[in-house]
Amino acid sequence: MRILILGGDGYLGWPTAMHLTAYGHEVVVVDNYLRRRLCREENIDLLFDVPELPERTAIWQSLSGHKIQVYIGDLVEWDFIAEVFEKFIPEAIVHYAEQPAAPYSMLNRQAATLTLNNNLSVTVNVIFAVREFCPDAHIVKLGTMGEYGTPNVDIEEGWLEVKHKGRRHKFLYPRQASSLYHTTKIMDTDLLWFYVRTWGLRATDLMQGPVYGLFTDENEKHEQLLPFFNYDEIFGTVLNRFVVQAVGGYPLTVYGKGGQTRGYLNIKDTLNCIRLSVDNPADKGELRIFNQFTETFSVNDLAEKVREAGNQLGLKVEIQHVANPRIEAEEHYYHPRHTALLDLGLAPHYLSEGVLVEMMEYVIKYKDQIKHDQIYRKVKWA
């Protein structure tokens, strides 16, 4: 299949590009290096340097024989995205190209408007490009479990059948985000649903939980094929951050009571979920929503697991409850359904001590590069 990966330089986009070519798909990646630029502007360093796309694709081609074509440009620009679609005519589009960090979106007004303008504009452009150049193509869009918030009832996969005054109707499951970033994801879902209804597009919206990990079957720990690894408060995801904090001798920063529970997944499972979604497309006129995670943990659970894994390596890992900079429930009910991807054949890679130890052993190589002042900057929600 011809697959266009938007955001192909990113933490998830690059491993996805390698993975899909390894499975025989023809892949084009697009990125404008927004993530790298925002890191530079906020004085954030990655744990290790990652080559830009032309170099990474050349290395991947020399090792695997698979070619990935690269376009560098801003998907907010219609002329640019139209050129890419017109030349490639994709059969599936994996849309990762957004500002993905909740803390970044809460930094200040400029960061808020960048997040809003970028995320919604790219999504609208993708929808219009599909309609104009490849109306039968399947849009696979990354949403987030954070769209649902933490309701005091079970979370379904995207939809809720409501009985009201004796009548029934199926609605999008109610959404209630806890950051501006998550709010843009809700708006994306609304945009997709509107155009699926209006133009009969085919779309899959993946409500993904926080991803952890570095290693995939394709990178095999090849240094220059690894994804970005952020450990800072703004762009790092929680488990990746805790692993680096444990190695760097910085107490694990549990926000508030630490009962915040979410659905997590290994980066290997992100790739499998994307491949399964692409290989089994939504019908025309269908918005399919899958909850993309494999197991749930509280922040306290994660901290405890990282401490135990650290002990295996002789690290002395402390856990510190710090004042919560976010506005969120610290103890709550959380029971989200997640069977659709399992039904498609997902075989999860669960979080084990071995997985954590493997990550820590790798991070130890960069121990001296860990900058403590990047770890906890207290980006406040209010």
Ligand X SMILES: NC(=O)c1ccc[n+]([C@@H]2O[C@H](COP(=O)([O-])OP(=O)(O)OC[C@H]3O[C@@H](n4cnc5c(N)ncnc54)[C@H](O)[C@@H]3O)[C@@H](O)[C@H]2O)c1
CB of 99 to ligand X, least distance (A): 6
Nearer to ligand X, 44 or 196 (CB): 44
- Is 23 an active-site residue? no
CB of 329 to ligand X, least distance (A): 19
Q: Using CA atoms in the order 180, 339, 157, 288, what is the torsion angle rounded to 10 degrees?
A: 100
Among residue numbers 5 through 24, which ones bind ligand X (CB under 6 A)?
7, 9-13
- Is 181 an active-site residue? yes
Question: CB nearest ligand X: which residue?
Answer: 10
- Chain CA centroid to CA 234, Å: 14
CB of 104 to ligand X, least distance (A): 10
Site string for ligand X, 25-64 (x = CB under 6 A): -----xxxxxx-----------------------------
250 part of the interface to ligand X, by CB under 6 A: no
Tell which one of 183, 237, 277, 298 touches ligand X (CB under 6 A): 237
75 part of the interface to ligand X, by CB under 6 A: yes
289 part of the interface to ligand X, by CB under 6 A: no
- Is 33 an active-site residue? no
The greatest distance separating any two alpha carbons of the chain, rounded to the nearest whole angstrom, comes to 65
Task: Report residue 368 as tokens.
Answer: 């001296």
Cβ contact 245:316 at 8 Å: no
Cβ contact 182:146 at 8 Å: yes
Cβ contact 356:243 at 8 Å: yes
Q: Checking DSSP bridges between strand 295-298 and strand 261-266, what pairing results, if any?
A: antiparallel
What is the helix (H) or strand (E) element at residue 65, kind and residue range? none
Q: For residues 267 and 118, what is the distance between their CA atoms, to the nearest angstrom?
A: 24
Task: Report residue 32 as tokens.
Answer: 């404008």
233 part of the interface to ligand X, by CB under 6 A: no
Q: Which of 144, 184, 253, 261 is catalytic?
A: 144
* Residue of 287, 162, 274 lying closest to 218 (CA atoms): 274
Nearer to ligand X, 7 or 310 (CB): 7
Residue 201 phi/psi, 5° resolution? -70, 165
Size of the site for ligand X (CB under 6 A): 28
Q: Rule CB under 6 A: which residues touch ligand X?
A: 7, 9-13, 30-35, 74-76, 96-98, 100, 118, 122, 142, 144, 208, 210-211, 228, 237
Residues annotated as catalytic are 144, 181, 185
